[in-house]
Structure 1
Amino acid sequence: MIPYSYSLHKIDNTANFGFSADEYSRFKFGDDLVARSFGKDLADGFIRYYLADNVITDQIVVISSPYSFIPTATFAMKNYFVCQLNRWLVENGGLAVQETKVHRTITYKEDYGELSAEERLSLIGNDSFHIDKDFLVGKTLLFLDDIKITGSHERMILKMAKEYGLKNEMHMLYFAELVNKNIHPNVENFLNYHQIKSIFDLEEIIDSGNFRFNTRIVKYILNTTSSSFNLFLERRSTDFINQLYDLSLGNNYHTIEAYSKNLHLIKDYIKNNNYKLI
C-alpha cells in the first residue's frame, strides 16, 4: 500500500521555511486564526495540485492526526481544511466530506520535536492506534498532519492500516515537510518554540479571542516550574483553569509524575475558589 503524499511547503533549508516560523509557533500553541490560514492554504494547495486533475468520486473521509482526549493543533487546522475543501467539492458536484478519528493511547511525555529519527520511532512504537474500519469501507481517506519530519507518524498510520486490512485509497497531507535529510529533526522544536520562550508568552495567544486548547499547550503549562505556574494561574480566568484541569484528567495526565505537582495546585485553586463562592 503506497499512499499519495502531498505537502504544501517543502523545507530544504533553515533560512527560509516558506512560511512564518512565528505563525507556526503560535499555531502549535493554540492560535486558531493561524490554524484557519494554514487549513485553507492546505486545502487550496491539495485542490490545485491534485484534485483539479484527479477528481475523487468516492466519499472522502478526513482524518486528523491521532489523539486521545485533547485534540492536537492539527485538529484545529483540519476544521478549516474541511470547510474549504467542502466548498470546492460541492461546487464541482461532489459530496461533502465525512470525518472520523484515529484513537491513540500515548505512552510517553517526552517532547517529540527534539528527538532524532531513531528516538522518535522507538518512542511512538509503544503507542497504540485504533480506527473504525467498518465506517471506512469504500471511501477515500485523507490523513492530515501539520508537519512531516522523519515519517514516524506516517509509518505508524500505515502499520495501523495494514493491521486493520484497510484497502482504501489513502492520501497523506501535510502543511510542511522536511525534505533535506541533512537538517536535524530537532528543527521541529525550533519551529514549535520560535515565539514561545516561557509560559508568559502564551498569554497573548490565550487572550487574543482566537485561542483553542490542544495537547501541546496543556503539557507545556503542566510542565512549568511551580513559581512561574502559580503566577500564570493567578492571571487566568476560572473558566480557563477549570477547562485546563478537565482536559488534563481526560488525557490521564494525573498519572504522569512530572505533571502531578501542578495538577495538585490547580485542584487546590479550584477547591479554594469554590469555597469562596459558597
Structure 2
Amino acid sequence: MLHKTYSLHKIHTSTSFGFDAGHYSRFKFGDGLVSAQFGTDLADGFIRDVLSKGRIQQQIVVISSPYAFIPTATFAMKDHFVYRLNHWLAENDLPIVQETKVHRTITYKEDYGELDAAQRMSLIGNDSFHIDAEFLKGKTLLFLDDIKITGSHERMISKMIKQYNLHNDIYMLYFAELANTAIHPNIENYLNYHDVKSIFDLDSIISSGHFRVNTRIVKYILNYDHDSFCVFLQNKPQAFISELYNMALGNSYHTMDSYALNLNYIKDHLFNNNKLLQYGN
C-alpha cells in the first residue's frame, strides 16, 4: 500500500529553513529542550493538517527512526510528539498512541549528512530493518524521522513494508524536508554542525540538565582527536562517562578500530581505577 508523507517544514533555499538552524544542530547532539519543542511542533502541525480533518480512525502506532541500541535524535523528539498527540486523542475520546520499534542490524562510522544521494543509498542499502508485523495489524502507522533529504531512509522503510506485507494506512512524518532538489544533500551537515564546531561545544548541551544521549553524539565523541577528547572528558561526571561507555558497547562500537583509542581510554578509567589525565600531563 502506498504511504502518505507529511513534513512540517519544507526547505526551498539554503539560507532559510522555517526553523532555527542552531536549534536543529543542538537537537541533533542531544538537547532535550529543543527535542521537546520540535516534537510538540510536529504533533501540532499533524493534528492541524491531518487529524483534525478526520482522516484517521484506527489505533495509531508511532514508530521512531530505526536504531540498534542507542536511539537516534528523533527518539527524543518522538516522546514529545506522542505526549502532544495523546492530549488531542484523549480530548477527542480516541485511543491513545501505541509504540513499537524498527530494529536495524548495521552501524557505521561514516557521517551520513555529508553524503550525496547515491552514497547514502549505497551505505544504508547494506542494512536491514525488522518490525513486529503481527502487532501492527489493523492499525495506522506513523513513522517519524527528523529530516528527509534524499529519501534513502524512506526507501528502506518502504522496502521493509513490502517485505512484511504490511497493508496498513501509513504516514511518513518529518520535522523538515528538503523540497528543492537543486540543493546538495550536504545541506544536512550544515544544519547538523551549525552550533557544534568542536567537541567543546557539547559542554553546554551535556550540562544543561536536559541531555538525551543519541547515536550522533556518541560517534562524534569516540571519533574525535584523542588529545582533545581527553581534555573534554576531564570535567565530565562519572555518570556521563559510564553512559558513554555503555552506549558504545550496546552499538558494538568496541569492534570498530576507529573508536578503539578513545573507547579504551574510557574503559581504563572506569575499570582500572585510573584518573583521567589532567591537561598538560
TM-score, scaled to structure 2: 0.96
Deviates more, 1:86-95 or 1:24-33: 86-95
Aligned-partner residue type, residue 98 of structure 1: Q
Match of 1:117 in 2: 117
> Secondary structure at the residue paired with 1:18?
coil
Give the superposition deviation at 1:265: 0.3
Match of 2:57 in 1: 57
> Is residue 152 of structure 2 the alignment partner of residue 152 of structure 1?
yes
Q: CA RMSD in A?
A: 1.2
| 1:145-172 Cα distance to aligned partner (Å, 9 max, x none) | 0000000000000000100111111000
Match of 1:141 in 2: 141
**Cα distance in 2, alignment partners of residues 275 and 240 from structure 1:** 15
Question: Within 5 Å, which residues of 2 pair with 1:217-256?
Answer: 217-256=217-256
> Secondary structure at the residue paired with 1:273?
coil
**Cα distance in 1, alignment partners of residues 203 and 220 from structure 2:** 13
Aligned residues of 1:107 and 1:126 also touching (Cα < 8 A): no
Gaps of at least 5 residues in structure 2 are 277-281
Match of 1:186 in 2: 186
| 1:193-237 Cα distance to aligned partner (Å, 9 max, x none) | 000000000000001111010000000000011100111111111
Aligned residues of 2:147 and 2:175 also touching (Cα < 8 A): yes
Q: Percent identity?
A: 66
**Cα distance in 1, alignment partners of residues 28 and 254 from structure 2:** 23
Aligned-partner residue type, residue 68 of structure 2: S
Aligned-partner residue type, residue 154 of structure 2: E
**Cα distance in 2, alignment partners of residues 39 and 182 from structure 1:** 28
> Is residue 13 of structure 2 the alignment partner of residue 2 of structure 1?
no
> Is residue 83 of structure 2 the alignment partner of residue 69 of structure 1?
no
Give the superposition deviation at 1:273: 3.2
Match of 1:104 in 2: 104
**Cα distance in 2, alignment partners of residues 27 and 63 from structure 1:** 19
**Cα distance in 2, alignment partners of residues 246 and 224 from structure 1:** 18
Aligned-partner residue type, residue 203 of structure 1: D
Match of 1:28 in 2: 28
Give the superposition deviation at 1:109: 1.3
Residue-pair matches, total: 276
> Secondary structure at the residue paired with 2:25?
helix
Match of 1:271 in 2: 271
Give the superposition deviation at 1:55: 3.9
Aligned-partner residue type, residue 127 of structure 2: D
Match of 1:93 in 2: 93
Deviates more, 1:107-116 or 1:145-154: 107-116
Q: In 2 relative to 1, CA 80–163 (structure 1 residues): closer, same or farther, beyond 3 Å?
A: same
| 1:160-199 Cα distance to aligned partner (Å, 9 max, x none) | 0100111111000000000000000000000000000000
> Secondary structure at the residue paired with 2:123?
helix
Aligned residues of 1:29 and 1:217 also touching (Cα < 8 A): yes
Match of 2:279 in 1: none
**Cα distance in 2, alignment partners of residues 52 and 107 from structure 1:** 38
**Cα distance in 2, alignment partners of residues 34 and 275 from structure 1:** 34
**Cα distance in 2, alignment partners of residues 54 and 172 from structure 1:** 18
Detail structure 1 runs of 4+ shifted over 4 Å in the superposition.
Answer: none
